[in-house]
Amino acid sequence: MNFKHKYFFLFPGLFVLIGILIFPIIFVVRLSLSGWNSYNPGLDFIGLDNYIRLFTDDPRFWESFFRLSFLSVTTVVLQYVIGFALAHMVWKDIKFKRFFRVLFLVPMMTTPVIMTVIWRTFFHESLGPVNDILSNFGFSPKWLTDPALAKFTVIIVEVWQWTPFMFLLLLAGLLSLPKEPFLAAAIDGASPVRKFIYVTFPLMAPISIGAIIIRLIEASKIMDTVYVLTSGGPGTSTETSSFYIFIKGLREFQMGYAASMSFTYLIIMIISLTIIAKVLTKLLLKE
Amino acid sequence: MNKLYTFLKYFFIVFWAVFVVAPFLWALTTSFKDFQSVNGGVTYIPWVDFEPNLEGWKVLIKSPAKGGVDIVEPYFNSLFVTCTASFISIVLGTLSAYALSRYTFKAGFVKNNDITFFFISQRIMPPIVLSIPFFLFLSSINLLDSLVGLILVYIVLLMPIAVWIMVDFFNKVPREIDETALIDGCNPYQAFLKVVLPNSIPGLIVAGMFCIIFGWIDFFFAFILTFTEVQLLPVKIVALNSSVTPWWSLSASALVSVAPLIIVAFIVERYLSKGNLSGAIK
């Protein structure tokens, strides 16, 4: 094939993407070396001061980061387990198969913040249906104002919202599996459980890894839900990294410091996601 | 054993279905309530528990001056931004994906896979990292609070998805069909437009739907980069939440905003059942 044409195909997209992105990324790095805040807006140069402050004097950032790791790992594991279970259940013929398939996809199509607004009324302490039902049994949990429970509520909403995505990827994977291994297993008289452990699961490993990584990437950005549901509270108990950077940067206008945090956050994300991808590949593909 | 398994299976499916539907049902019943039936204790069934009225739905199309909410304009803004950004992303993304799937690129240690990874890796970028520079960047070129500014940002969000789905899809379309077209005297552009694209419609539809989903559901950039001139639907609705919280109009507007993409769920399921999705998503 001709040599020059390929660039005409590739470059429009590549250059638009780079064109829109290159300035912001360079700017974040430069901004992180400045003391830009609301009293002193401007690109002065203060060296690594912001980074020194971040690494030595800001436990709140690291707490929010560990909270984010906890939230994203927990939600993704739950989404994977539930998504796989659901996909496996509607994979073969059951009653109302297509109805359930569509239904299980629906939450993913809804806008997270808007559904979170609904969830907020759903979990409302005195006017919401959940506590109305639970109060018959003598419970009235503080879904949004108890620090431990608020995390749990965020997890419920995230799982509701994004299990469909996992479900979609895994069901598409299941539907594309070759038939032969299952025939062989059936001839050998394998029980359903053994069939799942020795045939289905290993065949699904590459798709599982892909799905988990994609969801981890998306989950590591959790912020909309938190903003609407709890605003990071009570206190800072549901505050994630993104949300903390948002408060510092676009609420308190400490642009320089927020830029240094976002750059650090980006680097940590890239490194940890790479490690997780490598570890998962080793664990799941070896068997 | 088998009966137990079947029972558990249906139990779990029904349980999950109820969980999925619950917030929608709650929003639906709330949207017909008024102040009295929201604040006077929890009520569920219209006519039995409370007297339904259409106030929550009516305020949606009233202008703010008359105490309404007016989500019509944000609705069209959202539609316009989502569709334009998706369309541009699909066009550019498809071209790039085609190049990455059919030709070999090499620049130093950078090869095809690295370029593909560069495209897709933009999804890793947390929105917050881009928000601050975009905020300053767009305000410096006077595009803050404008549709064009938002479309630019959404292209960055959506193009990776388009490239990701289309590269996999083109890899599945046999090379022979473009080679035959070239031998028959087409130039590479004709071969692409007349032969490859018509064979890629399922992939294009899937990519398009994903772009529309992820564009439509974005809140963060719309929230940070627009204020009063241009309002997108999610921002408008969340703003309702922070004021006096009229649950009825909140619920009604939420349902209205969620409705169009439910159709997308049906289309996705169709492609899933036909097996077209398995190659497109990997």
Q: What is the pLDDT of residue B1?
A: 63
The alpha carbon of residue B175 is apart from the nearest alpha carbon of chain A, in Å, by 11
Question: Domains along chain B?
Answer: 71-247+263-280 (1.10.3720.10)
**Nearest Cα residue in chain A from B150:** A20
The pLDDT of residue B82 is above 70: yes
Helix, strand or coil for residue B44? coil
Task: Select from A85, A114, A258 the Cβ nearest to the Cβ of B234.
Answer: A114
B227, amino acid identity: F
Contacting residues of B for A230, CB less than 8 Å apart: none
Bin A231: left if φ > 0, else alpha if -120 < ψ < 50, else beta: left
- Tell me how crowded residue B92 is: count the other CB atoms within 10 A of its CB: 22
Contacting residues of B for A258, CB less than 8 Å apart: 132
Q: What is the pLDDT of residue A78?
A: 94
Average pLDDT value for residue range B169-185: 81
pTM score, whole prediction: 0.87
Q: At what angle do helices B2-30 and A147-175 cross, to 10 degrees?
A: 120
Q: What is the pLDDT of residue B88?
A: 93
d(CA B24, CA B252): 10
Contact at CB, B129 and A266, closer than 8 angstroms:
yes
The pLDDT of residue B281 is above 50: no
The pLDDT of residue B280 is above 50: no
What is the helix (H) or strand (E) element at residue B107, kind and residue range?
Answer: strand B106-107
Contacting residues of A for B195, CB less than 8 Å apart: none
Which pLDDT band holds residue B90 (cuts at 50, 70, 90)?
very high
Contacting residues of A for B92, CB less than 8 Å apart: 12-13, 16-17
d(CA A286, CA A206): 11
Across A128-132, B78-82, B133-137, B203-207, the highest mean pLDDT is recorded for: B78-82
d(CA B219, CA B83): 16
The string of pLDDT tens digits covering residues B50-59 is 777 777 777 7
d(CA B161, CA B56): 37
First to last CA, chain A: 41
Place of tokens 């739950």: A78
Whether the complex's predicted ipTM is more than 0.90 is answered with no
Contact at CB, B132 and A273, closer than 8 angstroms:
no
Contact at CB, A121 and B127, closer than 8 angstroms:
no
Q: What is the pLDDT of residue B17?
A: 92
Which pLDDT band holds residue B242 (cuts at 50, 70, 90)?
low
Contacting residues of A for B273, CB less than 8 Å apart: 98, 101
| Residue A166 or residue B265, greater confidence | A166
Q: What is the pLDDT of residue B282?
A: 41
Average pLDDT value for residue range B177-198: 81
Contact at CB, B269 and A122, closer than 8 angstroms:
no
Contacting residues of B for A86, CB less than 8 Å apart: 12-13, 16
Poorest-pLDDT segment among A68-72, A274-278, B116-120, B243-247? B243-247
What is the helix (H) or strand (E) element at residue B106, kind and residue range?
Answer: strand B106-107
The alpha carbon of residue B247 is apart from the nearest alpha carbon of chain A, in Å, by 8
d(CA A113, CA B241): 10
Reading chain A (287 residues) residue by residue, the pLDDT tens digits are 455 777 878 888 888 888 888 888 888 888 888 888 777 777 778 878 888 888 888 888 898 899 999 999 999 999 999 999 998 888 876 778 888 888 888 888 888 888 888 888 888 887 888 888 888 887 778 888 888 888 899 999 999 999 999 998 888 888 888 888 888 888 887 787 888 888 888 888 888 888 888 888 888 888 888 888 888 778 788 888 888 888 888 888 888 888 899 889 888 988 888 888 888 888 877 65
d(CA A285, CA A180): 20
The pLDDT of residue B277 is above 60: no
A:B CB pairs within 8 Å: 252
A60-250+261-286: CATH topology: MetI-like fold (1.10.3720)
Task: Select from B119, B126, B266 the Cβ nearest to the Cβ of A17.
Answer: B119
Helix, strand, coil proportions of chain A in percent (round to 5)? 75, 0, 25
Percent of chain B whose predicted confidence (pLDDT) is above 70: 91
Tokens (6 digits) for B260: 């169009």
The alpha carbon of residue B241 is apart from the nearest alpha carbon of chain A, in Å, by 7
Q: What are phi and psi of B169, to 5 degrees?
A: -70, -45
In chain A, domain spans: 60-250+261-286
Contact at CB, B133 and A28, closer than 8 angstroms:
yes
Q: What is the pLDDT of residue B7?
A: 86
Q: What is the pLDDT of residue A242?
A: 86
The pLDDT of residue B78 is above 80: yes
Tokens (6 digits) for B146: 């404008």
